[in-house]
Structure formats: structure tokens, C-alpha cells
Amino acid sequence: MKRKILSLLVIVMTAAVLFCSCAKSESFVDNSFGYDMIAPGDAAEEDFEYSSDSSTELLDKTTAETPTDRKIIMKYNFSVETKDLDSAVKALEEAVSSYGGYYESANVSGNTEDGGWAELVLRIPSSQTAKFNEGISELGNITNQNKSGQDVTTAYYDTENQLSSLKIQQERLMALLEKAESLDDILKLETELTRVRTEIERLTTLLVKYDNLIDYTTVTVELRQVRTYTEPEPETFGTKIAEAFKSSLEFTKELFEGAVIAVVYLSPLLVFAAVVLVVVLVIVKSKKKKKAKKSEVEKAE
């Protein structure tokens, strides 16, 4: 009986650890991004004497809706060796134009004759980014490439909701201003209206910035003039061992973190299980004693 109970507890713990480890591994990878995004400010507190029930109700309804259109800002970086810098820069210019993109910045130093390098920051329509990136390999030898993404879905829709609420407040203030008679009321209403309009302009500008970063992917291409391309380093036996050891450490770390989370999460259940186990053991031990006494009595008779 005791072994069965212990086995059951071990199975529960193992399942919990594996569940937590799997859940952890599904998190979004590489959420870093180079842009300093402006965090949408909270809607300013209402200090004027008018009701904001309907605008608040609208904000609550729109916030409750789960957005289906994810807002992701993507960024790609390429380092490319080329034997003809001028031709590579020209080819990029033509590709950017053909895909409907534009230059955010360009820095070119030197040329094909005396060697040189270039750093081009390009903005490509998100729908055309994959095709554009495929063509970069034609410029020369790609020595390094990476991508990163930032999910701004929540911030984007929160900003939209705040903007909708502020526009409703603006309409109310304008309606009250038309009916105001005293100079004091007019001044208060105009002050509040100015504040609301300023906030509307700020949030509108923020949404435009978000839309631009989402609709146009940032692609940074670094070109370097070389005579011969760099050969990729072969993967040695030692490199494979190092990678395997690194992966093993990462797995062990995740497993340990999962075990700690599982213990914390299941701690109330474990306490209850421990109490039940103690009670069961006491009962079993008591029955064994009674059985032993009964056996002794029967033998004595």
C-alpha cells in the first residue's frame, strides 16, 4: 500500500515538471528590438463636471475584445561581402524601388577601386520583405544575418481605445461649450478641450508611428568590399561537443526551473497528500498491530 502511494506521488510530480518545462519552451523567442517605442499614456483623469459614462463604457467594450490582427514590428540585419561595392549598392537601390520601399539612411565610404563599405537602412513593405531578403544573397557572400521582432499588439489596441474615448470626450466638451453662458464655465471648458485635443494629437501620432513600423519592415544591409570571400569555418568535433554541452546545460536549467515552479504550484496539494499519506500509514500500522495481536491471541489459545 505504501509503495503504491509513493509511486502515485512520483508520477504526479514528474508530469507537473514536464508540463511546466513544455509551457516554458513555448514562449516567444527573441523579443528584442532596436526602437525606443513611446509607451501610450493613460487617459488623463477627468476633473471637469461632465459625465464620462458612455465613453468609459465604449472603452471597456473595445478593450474586452480580443484582437485577432497581431501587430508585429520586424527587423532584419545582413552583413555581406561583395567584390563590387558600386554594383551591389546600385542593385540594392533598384530592388528597393521595385518592391515599393525607401531608404531610411545610407552611409557609403570608398568605392570598388579603392575598397570600401556601406551601411544601408532600408524600409520594405512587410508583404514584400521575404522576397526582398531572398535577393540579398545575389549581392555577394552573406557572413551574418539575424532577425528580431517586437509584438506591440496590446499597446497598439490600447492606444486605439484611448483615442476613441478621448474623441467622445471632445464631442461632449464642444457640445457643453456651445451651451455655456458664464465666462468661468467657458474658460474651464476651453482649457479641458485644449488638453483633450493635445492628447488626441499625441496618440494619433503614436498610431501613425506604429503603423509605419509595422507596415514597413526595417532591413539593415552592411556591405564590405573584399577581394576574396571568407570561407565558412568547418564544424569540428570539439565544436559539436561544446554545442551539445551547452544544449545540455540549457535543458538542465529549464528542467530545474520547471521543477521549482511545479513544487511551488503544487505545494498545497503536496501538503494535503503528505497529510493523507501520514494518516494512511498510521491506519496501516494500526491494522498491522491489531492483526499481530490477534495472531498472538489465536496462537496462545
Pull the grid cell for residue 63.
478593450
- In whole angstroms, give the CA distance from residue 131 to residue 26: 28
Residue with the bigger pLDDT between 89 and 230: it is 89
CA 193 → CA 173, 177, 200, distances in Å? 6, 9, 10
Q: How confident is the model at residue 273 (pLDDT cuts 50, 70, 90)?
A: confident
- In whole angstroms, give the CA distance from residue 72 to residue 196: 29
Q: What's the pLDDT tens digit per position in 155-177?
A: 999 999 999 999 999 999 999 99
Contact yes or no for 139/223 (Cβ under 8 A) = yes
Q: What's the pLDDT tens digit per position in 61-96?
A: 444 444 568 999 999 999 999 999 999 999 999 999
Q: Is 36 helix (H, G, I), strand (E, B) or coil?
A: coil
| The pLDDT value given to residue 14 | 52
The helix (run of H) or strand (run of E) holding residue 156 is helix 153-179
pLDDT value at 221 more than 80: yes
- Considering only the C-alpha atoms of the chain, give the largest distance between any 2 of them, rounded to a whole number of Å: 115
How confident is the prediction for the chain on average, in pLDDT?
78
Average pLDDT of span 119-142: 95
pLDDT value at 2 more than 90: no
By residue count, the chain amounts to 301
Closest residue by Cα to residue 192 from 50, 39, 41: 50
